[in-house]
A and B are shown apart, each in its own frame.
Chain A
Amino acid sequence: GQSLEQPSEVTAVEGAIVQINCTYQTSGFYGLSWYQQHDGGAPTFLSYNALDGLEETGRFSSFLSRSDSYGYLLLQELQMKDSASYFCAVRPLYGQNFVFGPGTRLSVLP
């Protein structure tokens, strides 16, 4: 089976850097994805790690370590608009479904 764990809430100030962790127990998966969801909105894709290491996309970076069963999303130069919920997700090797983590609510303070 698969299960993912994330902190429920993280708070940071504008301009800061914040890291949102995702730990997982899974029998095998293709890669780790991250999605952002603003209140009342739909999830939108942010980043994907197929291989171990760091992927950078502008102010956002994502990291995966399969040996440690661990990944994280790094948000730099935080802006107020980054206040949202962030979900990690995996697609298991067997089956075409996705499994999402419970989400981390990020609050960016002025």
Chain B
Amino acid sequence: NAGVTQTPKFRILKIGQSMTLQCAQDMNHNYMYWYRQDPGMGLKLIYYSVGAGITDKGEVPNGYNVSRSTTEDFPLRLELAAPSQTSVYFCASSYSGVTDTQYFGPGTRLTVL
């Protein structure tokens, strides 16, 4: 079991560029989440999905898009990168059982210059 994997680990973008952050899980979890974490701050939810084909906005969705075509994959798309999107991005998944435990990927550190 690889758990939750994310690629790339690091990325530098220029303002206006686009990119996709990849996230995959092999635990057959229905629920998947994207968070961003700014330095010294907590986690803010960008988007989440309760199953394939279903996505919903979180607290800070502007500037991002997601899709969920399979149970395993939940990519996050940045269309026009801005310096305000410099952050660490974490993908997570959960079974949504009794404990609602979320399993996090290792994160992608993104810098927009």
Task: Find residues 33-58 in chain B having any chain A CB closer than 8 Å to their own CB.
Answer: 33, 35, 41-45, 48, 50, 56, 58
Residues of B within 8 A of A103 (CB): 41-42
Residues of B within 8 A of A41 (CB): 106
Task: List 6 interface pairs A-B (beta carbons < 8 Å), by A numbering.
Answer: A42-B107, A43-B104, A48-B100, A96-B56, A96-B96, A101-B42
Q: Interface size class for chain A?
A: 20 to 34
A31 near B100 (CB under 8 angstroms)? yes
B99 near A87 (CB under 8 angstroms)? no
B101 near A42 (CB under 8 angstroms)? no
Q: Which residue of B lies closest to A102 (CB)?
A: B42
A97 near B101 (CB under 8 angstroms)? no
Q: Are A33 and B90 CB-contacts (below 8 A) given A43-B43, A98-B45, A100-B42?
A: no
Q: Are A97 and B33 CB-contacts (below 8 A) given A42-B90, A87-B42, A102-B42?
A: yes
Give the complex CA separation of A44 and B92 in angstroms: 10
Q: Are A43 and B48 CB-contacts (below 8 A) given A97-B58, A100-B42?
A: no
Contact of B98 among A35, A44, A50, A101 (CB under 8 A): A50
